Copies of this chain bind each other. A is one copy, B any other.
Amino acid sequence: MTPPVDVSRLIARLDALGRIGALAGGGVSRPALTPADGAGRALVVGWMRDLGLEPVVDRIGNVFATRPGAVPGPSVMIGSHIDTVATGGLYDGNLGVLAGLELIAALNDAGIVTERPVTVAVFTNEEGARFQPDMLGSLVHVGGLDLAAALDTVAVDGARLGDELEAIGWAGEAPIGGVAAAAYLEYHIEQGPVLEAEGIEIGVVEGVQGISWTEVTLAGRASHAGCTPMRLRRDAGLAAARIATGVAEIARDIGGDMVGTVGSLRLRPDLVNVVAESAVMTVDLRHPVEATLAEAERRLAGLIARVAAEETVAASTRVLARFAPVAFDRDLVGRVEATAAALGFGHRRMPSGAGHDAQMLARVCPAAMVFVPSADGLSHNTREFTAAADIERGLRVLASLALDLAGRVGDVPRAEEIRG
């Protein structure tokens, strides 16, 4: 059965959370561990308490709020994140967390007692827009990254993660990994154009593309743009531009699901009449098959070496993040599919193009994801949007499957019944 979820209540919470870090003209800027992130956390944790939950915060700032079950033990965990990129939207991450709260609200409203506990989780720094790697909180939670190393992570703006976590007041005391999950569900917008283009309502996510992030630093020589013949230049900016162009060529040449992006590119001194002395750029490569992703990485390394030699610049690289493709639990993916079918929603299996906390949780328990369409395929964009009808369908799939997994053992007596 579907618990009596209320999509308008979920959307009201999405809107309220979206006002924290709201950008003029729309969209949200709430990068991880900024004061806006802290304010967003306070709002969400307040809602958790209002729902009768007692949130615990672990030492990396992950928040877990558990509704007890009839039998103590591992939870059915529903989670995601509330940090955003610098120019993000209302839905990415927030939808998954607040759908979890809506499920709790519905269980409370209906007085349903579950066998297993149900936990809503908020993971720290999923986006990786400020601190890399992304999915850092869930990675620490599953033991994939040492707490001390995570706290020492330095932001693109120079801040240390541990200091920023303290500064916004969200360095908790709960031990890492203290909340165990029997299963993990994450409800998310697709962030791509496929569901909308095909007119399909629910995406049944089979796994996550492998992700490879590389920072490339190019060191050339600053010189006068008017007096330095082309043949005598060591132009770090030109080398960066050639690598950026080459990344797109690699992705287009491999084809299929391969994507390659240079999203950040900075020149120094960045002046019209000075040949750039240095350039720092990022390369984001993704593919669902490990061998293909590795092939793209090999081609990137060759591209960088070739361009650096031809432009007489020194190149160095640093891995910012590297995650192999992840396949979700087959049985759980099958149950997502069956639930969508039982509710009468059009659905298709698909990979996720983005990384998600679910891929970290998949290391320690069965995990799966539910996708709903993104208007125009936009995400990491202030115009990110998913219609209420789509949100409701995904919410019903999530809530139905979560209740099935948690097991309904009876109803809590309602106050009016007790009084009656």
Q: How many residues on the A side are at the interface (Cβ–Cβ under 8 A)?
A: 73
Given known A-B contacts A128-B272, A241-B240, A224 and B379 have beta carbons under 8 A apart: yes
Among A64-72, A168-176, A244-252, the one that faces the other chain is A244-252
Given known A-B contacts A226-B353, A354-B226, A263 and B270 have beta carbons under 8 A apart: yes
**B264 A379 Cβ-Cβ under 8 A:** no
Expressed in whole angstroms, the minimum distance between the Cβ of A409 and any Cβ of chain B is 39
**B245 A238 Cβ-Cβ under 8 A:** yes
**A223 B264 Cβ-Cβ under 8 A:** no
**A223 B263 Cβ-Cβ under 8 A:** no
Among A40-48, A54-62, A227-235, the one that faces the other chain is A227-235
Given known A-B contacts A232-B377, A248-B230, A353-B228, A261 and B241 have beta carbons under 8 A apart: no
Q: List residues 177-221 of chain A with CB under 8 A from any CB of chain B.
A: 190-193, 209, 211, 213, 221
**A271 B85 Cβ-Cβ under 8 A:** yes
Residue from the list B262, B271, B276, B352 in contact with A241, Cβ < 8 A: B262
A282 at the interface (CB under 8 A from B): yes
**A213 B272 Cβ-Cβ under 8 A:** yes
Residue from the list B85, B266, B272, B377 in contact with A263, Cβ < 8 A: B272
A147 at the interface (CB under 8 A from B): no
Q: Can you name the residue of chain B whose Cβ is closest to the Cβ of A258? A: B230
- In the complex, chain B residues whose CB is within 8 Å of the CB of A226: 191-192, 209, 211, 259, 284, 286, 352-355
Expressed in whole angstroms, the minimum distance between the Cβ of A259 and any Cβ of chain B is 6
**A224 B271 Cβ-Cβ under 8 A:** no
A127 at the interface (CB under 8 A from B): yes
A227 to B373, CA, bound (A): 12
Closest 4 CB pairs of A and B: A192-B227, A241-B244, A227-B353, A225-B261
21 A-B pairs (CB sep. < 8 Å):
A85-B269, A85-B274, A193-B228, A193-B232, A224-B380, A225-B263, A227-B353, A227-B377, A229-B257, A230-B248, A235-B248, A235-B261, A241-B241, A242-B245, A261-B272, A264-B267, A265-B270, A272-B282, A272-B284, A272-B320, A274-B381
